[in-house]
Amino acid sequence: MGISFELYKKKVKGAFIGKTVGGTLGLPYEGDIRVNEVSYYNPVPTKMLANDDLDLQVLNLEIILHKGLPVSRLNIADIWTKHIVDSAPDEYGVAIANHKLGINAPLSGIYRNKFTEGMGGAIRSELWACLAPANPTLAALLAREDAATDHNEDGIYAEMFLAAFESQAFIESDIKKLVDVGLKYIDKNSKLYNAFSDVIKEYERTKDVLGVRKLILDKYYSDNWTNVIINLSFILLSLISCDGNFDKAICTAAALGYDADCTCATVGAIMGIIDSDKIDKKWTDPIGEALVLSENIVNAHCDKTIGEFCDTLMCVSYFVQEYYGAVTVKGLSNYKHLKMPTPWTSDYKKLYDWQIGSKESLLMHTPCMMILKYPEKIAVVPNEKMEYSLKVVNINSFDIKGNVYFSFPYNFTADTIHSEFFLKVGESIEIPFNVIVKKNVKRTQNNPMLINLEICGMRFSVEAGLPISREWKIKNEKTGEISFFENTSSFFTVPQGSYSYAIKLNATANKLSRVSCGGTRPFILKINGETVYEGDGTFYVPTFHRDNTWKEVKLHSFMNDIEIIFPEYNEGEFFLGFSTTFGCSEWLDAMEYYSLNENE
């Protein structure tokens, strides 16, 4: 179904005006898990408040303008490596750290990530809806490509749901019908789908907003107030209970708390798409039209106002709809004063041929697509044969013959260092290889494998990260038994009982760092014999900026003794990581870990 250009333009602007109004209203309640009385801005602002809800969509649009189509999870990685400084909360920090190690999407959203169900993807949905209006399938597909960079499963489904919902809202205003459209893009066995079902069923039965809120918190509780199951349920609840009233919708979202700036901004955007005329000037006059980005966003060549941003988006939308063969806006062809790079492939379906939860990393687009498939453990474990596979896909319009050469870090060995291939148009080949690392290798996280692709006498190179496990010395405090454990992530499970875990850390220089530690069982963290942190296991949000999960520590220039004492308790999970000390902190992966195993 088509839509006129004038109506399209009105709805796009409505989406982002509603987004900025809602984000500004909700920001003072961000992280507040109480129910509040909300009827208007408090305090009344003089401009829109900067928010990652809009920041990241501005950056995504710039990436499309710079690198062209199709929208790709590999290109979106520029957000994490080129545009954010001094601030890396939650899943953003994981994405930044993983991409710096050469681990790309979708694996970048999985490895070391306890925020796969965070709100950071869901809040980026409006861009894809506006680029693909009245085309929920395309909007959800583009949202999936985006969300995979820093999320998995429900964190991805959340952005797909909202993008599809908002895309359909360009031609449909019935909230129930829009929910049905969005639900088509969520796994019916997922927590998110079940939570939505609970919200709809309970609200229809009781019409009690706070009662539904309590049900969701009781059934889907998380220590993390940015959890997407809770917050998307609040978004849905605000929409189905608002009776089409913009004010009521955004105030309900803000009042319900938790990630209130994000929920309120998304509700505002949806209501703005459905009918922007219902956004009263009392909301827009105080914040104006200036586009305000967060201070930690850098290298953004963006527009100065929300209106200009919407104009740019609509120009790009023409190229998106033309490229994907799904033109839904009548007269949009006259609105294309921007130039776009020539698409780097006509076969986007090959690019999007991946499964949510896949432990693979997209390394290269051209001259052919290369995808590295990781073993189940992801990180290399010394003295174990780790099985990898490199998939090469010919997305050109001609046949190709070439060679692949592998070069591994020092002390890493493999059974394959060269492979020759011939691929017809659209064909692919998988090159399996096994990697083995010596037991006494230096335990650094940054271990780049170099892959050289040679075609027609030309060589193209790309690096892929091979993280390595850390070996902990474990003492059973009851029996005195000593054992060793290879931890392949930043998290590990401590069995029932009483134990101490020990390892050495080389900080390479005298360094002030944040140490974040936490778990679902009590513990005592000691660094160089000094107790740094004691946890009771009642709160577990493994990140570097929540007030009660980190401490600043001074690390020695060489070896530091790390010991974690776990008193008698049930089985539980534990997290330990180090970060910078400023902003929301960035992961420190440059430090080296040494085992206490005498055989190392």
User: Tens of pLDDT along 53-92?
Assistant: 999 999 999 999 999 999 999 999 999 999 998 878 999 9
**Weakest mean pLDDT among 204-208, 253-257, 442-446:** 442-446
Tell me the residue type at 76. Answer: I
470-476 vs 550-555, strand pairing mode: unpaired
Residue pair 81/55 in contact (Cβ under 8 Å)? The answer is no
Residue pair 436/411 in contact (Cβ under 8 Å)? The answer is no
pLDDT (0 to 100) of residue 600: 59
Find, among 504, 516, 524, 517, the residue nearest to 566 by Cα. 524
Q: What's the whole-number mean pLDDT along residues 101-107?
A: 97
pLDDT (0 to 100) of residue 550: 85
Contacts 24+ apart (CB under 8 A), 540-543: 540/223, 540/573, 540/575, 541/114, 541/223, 541/224, 542/114, 542/490, 542/491, 542/516, 542/518, 542/575, 542/577, 543/89, 543/90, 543/93, 543/114, 543/115, 543/516
Q: What's the whole-number mean pLDDT along residues 246-266?
A: 98
pLDDT (0 to 100) of residue 423: 96
Find, among 128, 127, 130, the residue nearest to 10 by Cα. 130
Tell me the residue type at 167. Answer: S
Render pLDDT for 480-494 as a digit per residue (tens, 0 to 9).
999 999 999 999 999
pLDDT (0 to 100) of residue 456: 85
Is residue 16 over pLDDT 80?
yes
Residue whose entry in the numeric block shows the structure tokens 């140490």: 515
% of the chain beyond a pLDDT of 90 = 86
pLDDT (0 to 100) of residue 102: 96
- Residues 511 and 83: their CA atoms lie apart, in Å, by 25
Render pLDDT for 395-418 as a digit per residue (tens, 0 to 9).
988 999 999 999 999 889 999 999
Residue pair 295/32 in contact (Cβ under 8 Å)? The answer is no
Render pLDDT for 124-166 as a digit per residue (tens, 0 to 9).
999 999 999 999 999 999 999 999 999 999 999 999 999 999 9
3-state secondary structure of 248: helix
Residue whose entry in the numeric block shows the structure tokens 């014999």: 529
332 vs 375 pLDDT, higher one: 375
Residue whose entry in the numeric block shows the structure tokens 């201070």: 295
pLDDT (0 to 100) of residue 501: 98
pLDDT (0 to 100) of residue 438: 86
Find, among 426, 587, 591, 436, the residue nearest to 100 by Cα. 587
Is residue 243 over pLDDT 80?
yes
Find, among 493, 506, 509, the residue nearest to 559 by Cα. 506
% of the chain beyond a pLDDT of 70 = 99
pLDDT (0 to 100) of residue 548: 74
Q: What's the whole-number mean pLDDT along residues 308-324?
A: 95
Is residue 348 over pLDDT 80?
yes
Give the domains, in start order, of the chain with CATH numbers.
Answer: 3-334 (1.10.4080.10), 359-465 (2.60.40.10), 470-594 (2.60.120.380)
At residue 539, φ and ψ (nearest 5 deg) are -140, 125
- The token duo for 226 is 């940015």
pLDDT (0 to 100) of residue 41: 98
- Residues 220 and 237: their CA atoms lie apart, in Å, by 15
* Angle between helical axes of 136-147 and 154-168 (0-180°, round to 10): 150
3-state secondary structure of 540: coil
pLDDT (0 to 100) of residue 339: 86
pLDDT (0 to 100) of residue 280: 97
Per-position DSSP letters for 553-577, written without gaps between them:
EEEPSSEEEEEEEEEEE--EEEEEE
Is residue 47 over pLDDT 90?
yes
3-state secondary structure of 192: helix
pLDDT (0 to 100) of residue 292: 94
Residue pair 3/300 in contact (Cβ under 8 Å)? The answer is no
Taking residue 456's Cβ as centre, other Cβ atoms within 10 Å add up to 8
Which bin fits 299, alpha (ψ -120 to 50), beta or left (φ > 0)? left
State the average pLDDT for the chain. 95
Is residue 242 over pLDDT 90?
yes
Render pLDDT for 520-545 as a digit per residue (tens, 0 to 9).
999 999 999 999 999 999 989 998 88
Number of Cα atoms under 13 Å in the Cβ half of residue 491: 17
* Angle between helical axes of 175-183 and 191-206 (0-180°, round to 10): 160
* 80 Cβ contact partners less than 8 Å away, ≥ 6 residues apart: 92, 95, 96, 99, 108, 149, 150
SS (H, E, C) 204-228: HHHCCHHHHHHHHHHHHCCCCCCEH
SS (H, E, C) 376-393: CCCCECCCCCEEEEEEEE
**What is the rounded (10 degree) CA torsion for 411, 415, 418, 419?**
-150
Q: Report the helix count and the strand count for the chain, using DSSP H and E.
A: 17, 22
Q: CA separation (Å) from 262 to 16, 31, 296?
A: 13, 10, 18
- Residues 508 and 595: their CA atoms lie apart, in Å, by 16
